[in-house]
Amino acid sequence: MQRKLSTGQMQMIALGGTIGVGLFMGAGSTIKWTGPSVLIAYLVSGAFLYLIMRALGEMLYVDPNTGSFAKFASEYIHPVFGYLTAWSNVFQFVVVGMSEMIALGGYCRFWWPNLPDWVPGLIAIIFLCVANLISVKMFGTLETWFSLIKVVTIILMIIVGLGLILFGFGNHGHAIGISNLWRHGFFTGGVKGFVFALSIVLASYQGIELIGVTAGEAENPQSTLVKAIRSTVARILIFYVGAIFVIVSIYPWDQLNQIGSPFVQTFAKIGITAAASIINFVVITASLSGANSGIYSASRMTYTLAENHQLPHKMTLLNRHGVPFYAVISISAGILIGIILNVVLPMFFKDASEIFVMVYSSIVLPGMVPWIVILISQIEFRRQNADKMADHPFKMPLSPYSNYATLAFLALTLIFMFINPETRYSILVGVVFLAIMTIIYFRKYHHRVDTEA
């Protein structure tokens, strides 16, 4: 493969993979469980996420390869974990792509109410497939622009919101202030509500590990990875925390379900009459970004599985642009299933948002698998590479204790997700998927690995 991704592109890819339609359209879902204290949930989750990325960065600095965390899981834990990690990543991003294509049909209906929902998804997936086949640089450029649109919108939202809060712009000169943070309660759902919200907040960060997938195609990987990891987590925290701070300061948390999208309402307050159209355009690009990241990440993990002889060799074949041709085609075809579901599921479910949530929620546990194996792999990585640690400029802070604390945090979150009836379904889907893939591994590949060893 070709190393064509710059630091800026890698940062925007990670931002694009993490900041999605959940922030623009679903900010109210986490707030309803815990009120304004959701800000603390984002900060706590972000701190642990930073530790996960530092653990990944320590390993990537020494060994920057495509497939990264799946490769590390095989080397430093057991090949079954490499297999599960790669397939979890494929499952996660194919489902993300499917759910984004389902959402896309609904967004386009805003402008073209008579357009069949499957048409925008089909056009989008063909366009994104072709773009990914042209070159990794084309993917990086496309994802950079998609991410830039989201980032600029969030920055403008924060600026406009602060204008309302501090100076009363759009509110007849009366500053709104921040009293809504506590006037209607801060920890509104108690400890249980806060921990329930943690699970969804943590899931909203899934996708940041895309930096690890891009390692094998990054320019000057050591310096590029260090810069990308250091800046990306901070930026994501600023965007998430900043946007949520503005929302819960301007609007009483218990009224959010009555106003629709807080982004639309905030822009509309200062007289931007086209606010709904603007945000609709942004969430369309967010959907395209999610599917674009999905095709890229899942195709590279498919390539890694094929290199390990766990998928047909054909998946390792590159076109003349250094792109795994059959892997990209296969993942794009998998995402097309989302368009079929968009036609079939409305026969059984009338609410389009219900279909989106049903599909999207199934990625939560598989999406956490890469984080768990990163934390465990890094402990063994450091033991085996002790000679390289003395001069290592990007070591995991306080390892291994920080690893254990982060693993405990993830375990606690998963336990409460199972307790919560609204998220139990997604955990069960993830458990069934991982169980099936484990059985497949030990039936088909375990003996082969033992023989090679």
Q: Return the CATH number at 177.
A: 1.20.1740.10
Backbone angles phi, psi at 318, to 5 degrees: -105, 145
User: What CA–CA distance (Å, rounded) separates 252 from 32?
Assistant: 11
User: What CA–CA distance (Å, rounded) separates 120 from 108?
Assistant: 7
In a domain, 151, yes or no: yes
Weakly modelled stretches of the chain, pLDDT under 70: 1-8, 10-11, 13-14, 16-17, 20-22, 24-29, 65-67, 212-219, 259-261, 349-361, 447-453
The confidence score (pLDDT) of residue 217 equals 65
Spatial CB neighbours of 331, under 8 Å, sequence gap ≥ 6: 90, 93, 94, 97, 294, 295, 298, 299, 302
User: What CA–CA distance (Å, rounded) separates 352 from 219?
Assistant: 41
In a domain, 341, yes or no: no
Instruction: Cis check for the bond before 36: say yes or no (omega within 30 of 0).
Output: no
- Asked if residues 328 and 129 have their Cβ atoms less than 8 Å apart, the reply is yes
Kindly state the helix (H) or strand (E) to which residue 29 belongs, with its residue range.
helix 27-34
Q: Encode 214-238: b = buried (16+ Cβ within 10 Å), e = exposed.
A: bbbbbeebbebbbbbbebbbebbbe
Would you give the distance in Å from CA 105 to the centre of its chain? 21
Count the Cβ atoms, other than its own, within 10 Å of residue 390.
7
In a domain, 127, yes or no: no
* C-alpha dist (Å) from residue 314 to 188, 325, 326: 54, 9, 7
Backbone angles phi, psi at 393, to 5 degrees: -85, 0
The confidence score (pLDDT) of residue 236 equals 78
Count the Cβ atoms, other than its own, within 10 Å of residue 400.
17
Strand, helix or coil for residue 405: helix
Q: In angstroms, what is the C-alpha Rg of the chain?
A: 22
DSSP label at 318? Answer: B
Angular region, 5: left φ>0, alpha ψ -120 to 50, beta rest: beta
User: What CA–CA distance (Å, rounded) separates 93 from 267?
Assistant: 31
In a domain, 378, yes or no: yes
* Side chain identity at residue 34, one-letter code: T
Token representation of residue 213: 């997938």
In a domain, 84, yes or no: yes
The confidence score (pLDDT) of residue 67 equals 56
Q: Encode 337-359: b = buried (16+ Cβ within 10 Å), e = exposed.
A: ebbebbeebbeeeeebeebbbbb
User: What CA–CA distance (Å, rounded) separates 326 from 342?
Assistant: 25
In a domain, 315, yes or no: no
Q: Which domain holds residue 147?
A: 7-94+139-277+364-452
Residues in the chain: 453
Backbone angles phi, psi at 5, to 5 degrees: -95, 125
The confidence score (pLDDT) of residue 369 equals 92
- The tally of domains found in the chain comes to 1
Q: Which among 20, 19, 23, 25 is positioned nearest to 352, based on CA atoms?
A: 25
* Side chain identity at residue 144, one-letter code: T
The per-residue pLDDT for range 105-154, each reduced to its tens digit, is 878 888 998 988 889 999 999 999 999 998 878 888 888 888 888 888 88
User: What CA–CA distance (Å, rounded) separates 230 from 7?
Assistant: 11
Would you give the distance in Å from CA 192 to the centre of its chain? 25
In a domain, 182, yes or no: yes
The confidence score (pLDDT) of residue 214 equals 65
In a domain, 308, yes or no: no
Spatial CB neighbours of 347, under 8 Å, sequence gap ≥ 6: none
- Asked if residues 291 and 101 have their Cβ atoms less than 8 Å apart, the reply is yes
User: What CA–CA distance (Å, rounded) separates 214 from 122?
Assistant: 26
Q: Which among 121, 89, 347, 119 is positioned nearest to 207, based on CA atoms?
A: 89
Q: Which among 77, 124, 73 is positioned nearest to 98, based on CA atoms?
A: 124
Q: Which among 192, 165, 190, 195 is positioned nearest to 180, based on CA atoms?
A: 165
User: What CA–CA distance (Å, rounded) separates 300 from 66?
Assistant: 7
How many H-runs (helices) and E-runs (strands) does the chain carry?
Answer: 20, 0
